[in-house]
Structure 1
Amino acid sequence: MQPIHVCNHTTPEAIYPFDARGIAKRFRHAAIFGALDALHPGEVMRFCNDHDPLPLLAQIQQRYGDSVTIEYLQREMGAIVIDFAKVG
């Protein structure tokens, strides 16, 4: 059984939570891109969502290429946690 990751506060390791569940659906992608644009190299946005955002991931890869990495920490129905890291 995998540990459950939560998004509740920033950490000393420069991991910043982004809980998409609290953002209106029509604003989500714009808010996510804004948050990714604001990351500095070495920082991580820990993204929490209730569904697997495959179309969003394709858009992120197209927009940022290798400058943002994508790593699933949790991938279960109703509980998705992904770390997006800005590469220096």
Structure 2
Amino acid sequence: MSAPQSSANQEQEIDIRSLIPVQRHAKIFELVDNLKPGDAFVFINDHDPKPLYYQLEAEHPKQYSWSYLESGPVAWRVRIGKLPQ
């Protein structure tokens, strides 16, 4: 039997492209609210979600990391992580 993988290898990845635009930010913030320090998730979008970054930083300054894993032109993959306290 193999040992369980670390949580870094088990990050949730969610494709929000199928959601209507008004639901996208709500879904991302639901996931953000459930993160524990050190946890992260990846989301896939059909455009650059930069306005979401500004909203996240305005509501939760310096509490989350934001990393582009893919930057279009078809898909944007972004990793959001909760920083350790």
Superposition TM-score, scaled by structure 2 size: 0.82
Aligned equivalent of 1:37, options 16, 26, 33 = 33
What is the alpha-carbon distance in structure 2 between the residues aligned to residue 57 and residue 87 of structure 1? 15
Runs of 4+ in 1 over 4 A off after TM superposition: none
Residue equivalent to 2:80: 84
What residue identity is the alignment partner of 1:32? Answer: I
Unaligned runs of 5+ in 1: 1-10
CA RMSD of aligned residues (A): 1.5
Superposition TM-score, scaled by structure 1 size: 0.79
1:16 aligns with 2:12: yes
What residue identity is the alignment partner of 1:68? Answer: Y
Unaligned runs of 5+ in 2: 1-5
What residue identity is the alignment partner of 2:62? Answer: D
Aligned residues: 78
Deviation at 1:22, TM superposition (A): 2.0
What is the alpha-carbon distance in structure 2 between the residues aligned to residue 21 and residue 36 of structure 1? 18
Q: Percent identity?
A: 31
Greater radius of gyration (CA): 2
Answer whether contact 2:7 2:39 (CA < 8 A) is retained: no
